[in-house]
Amino acid sequence: MATTKIILLHHKARKNGEIPVYIRLIKNRQTKYYSLQINVLPKYWDEDAQKVKPNHPNSIRMNKYIAEKTRIALDGLLDKETDDPSSTVNEIKEALQGKAPVEFFAYAGKFNKLYENKGKIGTYKRFEAVVSKLKAYVNGKELTIKMIDTAFLKKYEDHLRTFYKNTNNTVIANFRAIRRILNEAVEDKHLEFAKNPFLTYKLTWKNTEKVFLTEEEIAAIEDLPLDKESMKYHHRNMYILACYAGGIRISDLITLKWSNFDNTHLLLNTQKTGSVISIKLPEKAISIIKSYHSKDSKKESFIFPFLDKYADISTPTKLHTAISSITAYTNTDLKDLANDAGIEKHVHFHTSRHTWATRALRKGMRIEYVSKLMGHASIKTTQVYAKIVNADLDKAMEVFDNKPVPPIKPESKVEKSK
């Protein structure tokens, strides 16, 4: 329970010597001051009675004003403490000052607008989807930032799992977006750090199976006879290039220009993370890229013939829409290519990234180099591929249990010529 006392704040003394009158709030050893918007000379203040002395010319009127303001403040304090016994001293002060709690969806909209302004359209749309789903859940009811506590998150998690049938990782992806917004609210002083529910509310990400192709499966797709005028041919080339060239994301390959290529390396400013990476290309990747070069190729021309078909990609939103459309088309073709090659795996473009990582580690590339070339922010992200390779090595060692080793035949003796 918060304690209160009416005091003079002497360090805020006016030039005429008058001191402002405040209500002092103390809770959990934290102190805040709430102004009563009145000043008095120290000689007229009764510290024990916490009111103006009778010898002040306007003592009756001032004490009546102080009593009324104090009553209103204490009523507000009681209401706040009753509604939320765990409220902090800052929240109590805000309640006394009549500050309206910050509405979550309005704040989230302003926060997410920053992503759109920065051209991070994928992130913007992902956050919009998360917020829309949450808005549907509350169904028009008020939701302030401070109403999102651990109890609320538990109920919402159950809703995502039962109503939407969301998987564990989809739930976490939703909650990561909400957490990011609440962390920003803490920065903006709209939420007490200690009140952030994600300090205690934890969910564990489950690593899903990484689909990747073997050397034989890559070759099977490479060897498929395709019409060079078909989009399937270009989609196949882009996928194979990624399998050889650092698992480059499809968004970066779609926007790849001749200015990014110097005959041996690709220099990329990645779409997703903004990181700059330089990739030395193996011969297979170089041959794919050079097959697209012609006398009409200019430095600012796109290497792959996808974006040229769009009339307008002048804004980040329009470019994102075009990339999304091309990605969907590519994934449809890759599914057909896998079927034609006799591959019984769910092949989509991102599997090229998994394929390159596992191939690189199997060929002896150090994991920190793999992490750097893939543009991972942390090597922990890359370690999942090391686990895949280690699992394969463990499987290979089973030959000692399952397959008897044949005896070694002695070499035949060759008679030395005399």
> Do 207 and 385 contact (CB within 8 A), yes or no?
no
Enter the tokens of residue 149.
């506590």
pLDDT in tens, 104-163: 999 999 999 999 998 889 999 999 999 999 999 999 898 999 899 999 999 999 999 999
pLDDT in tens, 8-52: 999 999 999 999 998 887 777 777 787 888 899 999 999 999 999
Is the pLDDT at 286 greater than 50, yes or no? yes
pLDDT in tens, 337-388: 999 999 999 999 999 988 998 888 888 888 888 887 877 767 777 777 777 7
Most confident option among 41-55, 205-219, 397-411: 41-55
Domain ranges of the chain: 3-97, 104-199, 215-399
Is the pLDDT at 283 greater than 50, yes or no? yes
Confidence of residue 244 (pLDDT cuts 50, 70, 90): very high
Q: For 257-350, where are the alpha helices, taking DSSP H only? A: 283-290, 316-340
- Which CATH superfamily, name and number, covers 215-399? Intergrase catalytic core (1.10.443.10)
In the DSSP assignment, the letter for residue 11 is G
Q: Tell me the whole-structure pTM to 2 decimals.
A: 0.65
List, in order, residues 6 or more apart from 143 with CB less than 8 Å away. Answer: 103, 104, 105, 134
Q: Give pLDDT, residue 418.
A: 41
Supply φ then ψ for residue 340, to 5 degrees.
Answer: -65, -30
What CATH topology corresponds to 104-199?
DNA polymerase; domain 1 (1.10.150)
